[in-house]
Structure 1
Amino acid sequence: MTRDTAPTGDTAVGPRPSETSGSDFARLSRKIADAGLLGRRPGYYALRITAVAGLYVVGWAAVALVADSWWTLAAAAFLAVVFGQVALLAHDAAHRQVFRRRRASETSGRIAGAGIGMGYGWWQDKHTRHHAHPNHEELDPDLDPNLLVWSQDQARAAKGLPRLIGRWQAFLFFPLLTLEGFNLHVSSVKALANRSLKHRTLDGTLLFAHFAVYLAVLLWLLPPGMAIAFLAVHQGLFGVYLGSLFAPNHKGMPILTGDDRPDFLRRQVLTSRNVRGGRLTDIALGGLNHQIEHHLFPSMPSPNLRKARTIVRRHCEELGVDYVETGLITSYRHALTSLHRAGAPLRPARVPAQGGPADIGGDRVP
């Protein structure tokens, strides 16, 4: 059974069953392997890395050429998109989609992370836990109620800023994304205090080297006021792009709690959402629009995910497992609707007029 609407309501590698295993995922895995979709795509990644690196250089060259002109803000917007593409490359490298060997994957991921001011070790640890427990309220770090609340239980327990923001968080979601780029940097720095973080000295060196070079270039090329404007536009739009990449994937999908432990295939499929679209969507979202396939086969190169989609969708139909796929705008609508419902306990009940039904958080209650 497949669905075109979402229900209301990344460095781990999936299990590798033997050829004789009869689990639902094992049968799907054999179909994918037989289709040759797990092989590396060195030509594709060589072209993609070259293109993104070239655009990165072009963006900063434009800043240098335009220099003391407000047109430099256009370069800031352009570089915000380029930074997002670099983040997607770091994501693919961390999943070993680019290189088979761990060392090459970590080296390329760290280089990409350094280019955008992201602590690679911190992000890899966080993303690995997300893949292992997607949309699990207690185990998925992407559902930590640091600023937003993702369920009504979190809303009832919220204090401080999440409690203040939570009541209207659906309306504030996209404006708050302008802070996501800054949050990426701050979280990366804060993680350096964790002594269990591997290679934290290297990550810290790369992180602060990025900040130093970034600020030095801005202050060298631009007057102070324009440098501040550039930083605000660049980091703000970078945050919006990052948030827009990841919001359609799981937000608004079923949230697991407590001892909810579906098998691997259902855990990944039922908590993920695909976004329909063509090749342009694949480029803009870095293949993450095929989120179901990515979660089932994290090390599959992103250009193979579209081909895997047909096999995975048919397999889910045979099993009667919901396979959710929507358009991009619809995915945002479901995500925002879910956020609004999650914040309902924080909104005061509206007193009914002339004995009519009360409206609590937008839900009509007799």
Structure 2
Amino acid sequence: MTSDIFGSADREETTARGSAFAVLARQVRQAGMLKRRPAYYTLKIAVNAGLLVLGGAAFVLLGRSWYQLLVAAFFGIVFTQVAFIGHDAGHRQIAGSRRINDVLGLVHGNLLVGLSYGWWVAKHNRHHANPNHEGRDPDISSGAIAFTTDHALARRGRPARALVRFQAYLFFPMLLLEAMNLHVASVRALLGRGTRRSRSKPVEVLLLGVHFAGYLAALLAVLSPVQAVVFAVVHQCVFGLYLGCAFAPNHKGMPVLSEDDELDFLRRQVLTSRNIRGGRFTDFVLGGLNYQIEHHLFPSMPRPGLRRVQGLVRAHCGRQGMTYHESSFLGSYAQVLRHLNAVGAPLRPQADAG
């Protein structure tokens, strides 16, 4: 159904067994850190399912009440945790069987949170193959936010240029719209003309349709029309903000590569990624994405293994003379905002830029 997201890393290691990454990869495999963790994921999925049921029960019992906005915020948080499972399934972290991972991904992505699993995996594959590479990484392609000076200077029209000028200030407010952006992109990818056909596409369309139809029917059956609209807005804003805040610190503000940069796999992944310091709570809140360096080096490693392998990776980077970038939770966002502010500086008045 989907392409092998671990393939790019594995192929590079195979073709360069004497490389710095191959040495590390052998250590990791010998330590058994790539073994599947079925008990962990069974528990995670069961807990998420329980939280969805709990939220659904509260939604029905509260009825036409404005306290439902608390339920909407709760669902925004739970939806993000569910999306993290979809992410892990896309990386084939959960099961050894590709089919099982794809089924879990389709259920958690299309059916439960309303995002196209196939579209996201294809997009995420390109990101993992070339993180922060201008022109190759879709996550820094020219969109509402400019991540490079060239993208900023290419903007035409006053609204677009004004947005880039103040994008550092607008970044978090714009994340409130991220879930809606992903929903729209998912629908366009599945229904748009010229999209790639796949065997899973009919299933994706069906599951996505069931999600949106069920979501709308539930809102209109329990809430007044005005309450339904406000509930959906709060829910999707919390979902988008949480999801965006989990992914934003990983690469934004790190070095952006160009066609002139020729780096091996290890350096390409490590030098463009940022880890977030923290304990078990941070691991839970960020879905393991706080170990971004380890995740990019070993995408198919189950989430619990990332903490265990960190020491090996950090030590190996030190032996290779490579910077292992790690930041605090708030410090990472400060770096992201400084980068966005610097990118928008050329479009600001000279006095402001100085």
Matched, 1:146 2:146: no
When residues 37 and 108 of structure 1 are mapped into structure 2, their CA distance, relative to the original with a 3 A threshold, is same
Amino acid at match of 2:60: A
Shift of 1:208: 1.8
Matched, 1:78 2:79: no
- 1:96–1:102 Cα contact (<8 Å) kept: yes
Query: How far apart are the structure 2 equivalents of 1:162 and 1:19?
Result: 44
Which residue does 1:11 correspond to in 2?
5
- 2:6–2:299 Cα contact (<8 Å) kept: yes
| Structure 1 gaps, min length 5 | 1-9, 351-358
Q: Normalising by the residue count of structure 2, what TM-score does the alignment of the two structures yield?
A: 0.94
Shift of 1:292: 0.2
Shift of 1:159: 2.5
Query: How far apart are the structure 1 equivalents of 2:208 and 2:65?
Result: 29
Matched, 1:294 2:292: no
Match of 2:108 among 97, 106, 112: 112
Which residue does 2:315 correspond to in 1?
314
| Structure 2 gaps, min length 5 | none
Q: How does 1:181-330 map to 2 (within 5 A)?
A: 181-192=179-190, 193=192, 194-198=194-198, 199-330=200-331
192-201 or 289-298, which moves further after superposition? 192-201
Q: For residue 350 of structure 2, give the secondary structure of its aligned residue in structure 1.
A: coil
- 2:6–2:298 Cα contact (<8 Å) kept: no
Query: How far apart are the structure 1 equivalents of 2:54 and 2:262?
Result: 48
Which residue does 1:354 correspond to in 2?
none
Query: How far apart are the structure 1 equivalents of 2:283 and 2:75?
Result: 19
88-97 or 17-26, which moves further after superposition? 17-26
Query: How far apart are the structure 2 equivalents of 1:106 and 1:345?
Result: 44
Which residue does 1:128 correspond to in 2?
125
Q: For residue 118 of structure 1, give the secondary structure of its aligned residue in structure 2.
A: coil
Q: For residue 263 of structure 2, give the secondary structure of its aligned residue in structure 1.
A: coil
Which residue does 2:22 correspond to in 1?
26
Query: How far apart are the structure 2 equivalents of 1:315 and 1:197?
Result: 42
Shift of 1:59: 1.0
When residues 18 and 205 of structure 1 are mapped into structure 2, their CA distance, relative to the original with a 3 A threshold, is closer
Shift of 1:95: 0.5
Shift of 1:105: 0.8
Shift of 1:347: 1.0
Q: For residue 15 of structure 1, give the secondary structure of its aligned residue in structure 2.
A: helix
Which residue does 1:66 correspond to in 2?
62
Query: How far apart are the structure 2 equivalents of 1:19 and 1:340?
Result: 40
Amino acid at match of 1:130: H
Which residue does 2:89 correspond to in 1?
93
Query: How far apart are the structure 1 equivalents of 2:16 and 2:173?
Result: 51
- 1:174–1:240 Cα contact (<8 Å) kept: yes
Query: How far apart are the structure 2 equivalents of 1:197 and 1:110?
Result: 16
Q: For residue 325 of structure 2, give the secondary structure of its aligned residue in structure 1.
A: strand
Query: How far apart are the structure 2 equivalents of 1:250 and 1:20?
Result: 26
Count of aligned pairs: 344
Q: Normalising by the residue count of structure 1, what TM-score does the alignment of the two structures yield?
A: 0.91
Query: How far apart are the structure 1 equivalents of 2:209 and 2:154?
Result: 36
Query: How far apart are the structure 2 equivalents of 1:195 and 1:321?
Result: 40
Shift of 1:137: 1.2
Matched, 1:342 2:343: yes
Which residue does 2:33 correspond to in 1?
37
Query: How far apart are the structure 2 equivalents of 1:238 and 1:204?
Result: 22
Query: How far apart are the structure 2 equivalents of 1:190 and 1:12?
Result: 26
Which residue does 1:137 correspond to in 2?
134
Shift of 1:200: 2.3
Q: Among the aligned pairs, what percent are the same residue?
A: 51
Shift of 1:209: 1.5
Query: How far apart are the structure 2 equivalents of 1:294 and 1:243?
Result: 18
When residues 15 and 109 of structure 1 are mapped into structure 2, their CA distance, relative to the original with a 3 A threshold, is same
Query: How far apart are the structure 1 equivalents of 2:122 and 2:331?
Result: 30
Deviations 1:267-313 (A, max 9, x none): 00000000000001001101000000000000000101001000000
Amino acid at match of 1:51: V
Amino acid at match of 1:15: D
Deviations 1:7-46 (A, max 9, x none): xxx9344125359922100000011112110000011111
Shift of 1:201: 2.2
When residues 197 and 259 of structure 1 are mapped into structure 2, their CA distance, relative to the original with a 3 A threshold, is farther
Shift of 1:261: 3.0
- 1:12–1:132 Cα contact (<8 Å) kept: no
